[in-house]
Amino acid sequence: MRVLVTGGAGFIGSAVCRHLVRCGEHVVNLDKLTYAGNLTSLASIENAPNYRFVRGDVCDAALVLNLLREENIDAIMHLAAESHVDRSIDGPASFVETNVVGTFRMLESALTYWRELPRAEQKGFRFHHVSTDEVFGDLPFDSGVFTEDTPYAPSSPYSASKAASDHFVRAWSETYGLPVVLSNCSNNYGPFHFPEKLIPLMILNGLEGQALPVYGTGANVRDWLYVEDHAEALHKIISEGEPGQSYNVGGNAERTNLQVVEALCDCLDELRPLVSGASRRELITFVSDRPGHDRRYAIDCSKIKQHLGWEPSVGFEDGLRRTVQWYLDNEHWWAPLRSSTYAGERLGVGAGK
């Protein structure tokens, strides 16, 4: 396939690009390179003959349409999004612009391009919109899971913007016949994760002996999905998914935020003990909870297993250890991010996503 990936310099997007290139697909990566975009995450494929990077904005419909035509694209994987909940609370406008308006512009360009294709190519074309489980809102601590039929009930400006974009994608399918597929994932973690998110932030703070701030009591529950498992699932969906369908992608690994941080402390203590010999659990501090903090997310991913034969292959403990080891081995990747002007801004504190 010839695939246009938007947001391919981000955390999940770069994993998708690396996976697709390794599998022999032709990848065109369109990324604006905002603060969370990092081309060093793509160093392993930057010279591959089946990979091309283009710096640009998904809101630039003309650029997108020209790329689709120039590269004779078979499928779009739309991952470009503002995704940090704390940032959406402080400044929601950029989330509306990128996540809602950007998706609308992508759909406009895709529809124009799709209508120009020969009928046989139209049938094979796909627009894959990659979304989040946060659009479904909040679950009780002791019951319930998100399915593909769960009603939307977003709590934050971030999740509201993603919910709106999901609805636009479905509308372009129903109204115009554009062949779309959607996916909603649980919390991702793994290598190349930008250090404002829970797991990398706790790893790096723990390495430096800094406080490990956790919202509230740390009781909020998230399902955790190793990013390379997610990339494989997305490849399955774009290749074999049925037009008009959505697929939930989860890791079958529910943990409280406190359990995640404690596991990270224990892993760091084993792999890189503090000089003092103290446990990093002593660094955990509880801070005021954020507004609208959902209690629990849990994914039922039986549909993708049944229909596409995918299920997560990396268990949480194994994935967490791999992730910690990656950060220990790749200071050259994260150190510039920690020392940049961004490091002086307020980082997320145990958001979980």
pLDDT at site 346: 36
Q: Would you say residue 336 lies in a domain?
A: no
349 has pLDDT over 50: no
Question: Which residue out of 57, 74, 133, 232 is catalytically annotated?
Answer: 133
- Calpha distance 55→263 (Å, rounded): 38
Q: Would you say residue 53 lies in a domain?
A: yes
Average pLDDT, the chain: 94
State how many domains the chain has.
1
Task: Tell me the mean pLDDT in the region 255-266.
Answer: 98
In the sheet with 221-226, reading across from the earlier edge strand, the strands are 187-189, 221-226, 254-256
pLDDT at site 352: 42
Query: What CATH number did the domain enclosing 149 receive?
Result: 3.40.50.720
Question: Which residue out of 25, 31, 57, 158 is catalytically annotated?
Answer: 158
Q: Would you say residue 136 lies in a domain?
A: yes
Residue 113 a catalytic site member:
no
Residue 282 a catalytic site member:
no
Please give the structure tokens belonging to residue 269.
């203590």
Residue 134 a catalytic site member:
yes
Spatial neighbors of 22 by CB under 8 A, at least 6 apart, are 45
Q: Would you say residue 210 lies in a domain?
A: no
Q: Would you say residue 185 lies in a domain?
A: yes
pTM reported for the whole predicted model: 0.94
Q: Would you say residue 144 lies in a domain?
A: yes
pLDDT-derived band at 347, boundaries 50, 70, 90? very low
pLDDT, one tens digit per residue, over 90-127 is 899 999 999 999 999 999 999 999 999 999 999 999 99
By residue range, what is the domain housing residue 231?
2-193+225-253+296-315
Please give the structure tokens belonging to residue 302.
């039986």
What does the DSSP assignment read for 233-264?
Answer: HHHHHHHHPPTT-EEEE--S-EEEHHHHHHHH
Question: Which residue out of 31, 57, 86, 134 is catalytically annotated?
Answer: 134
Q: Would you say residue 110 lies in a domain?
A: yes
Please tell me the least confidently modeled range out of 28-37, 77-86, 120-129, 245-254: 77-86
Q: Would you say residue 202 lies in a domain?
A: no
Tell me if 213 sits within 8 A of 346, measured CB to CB: no
For tokens 């590269």, what's the residue? Answer: 71
351 has pLDDT over 90: no
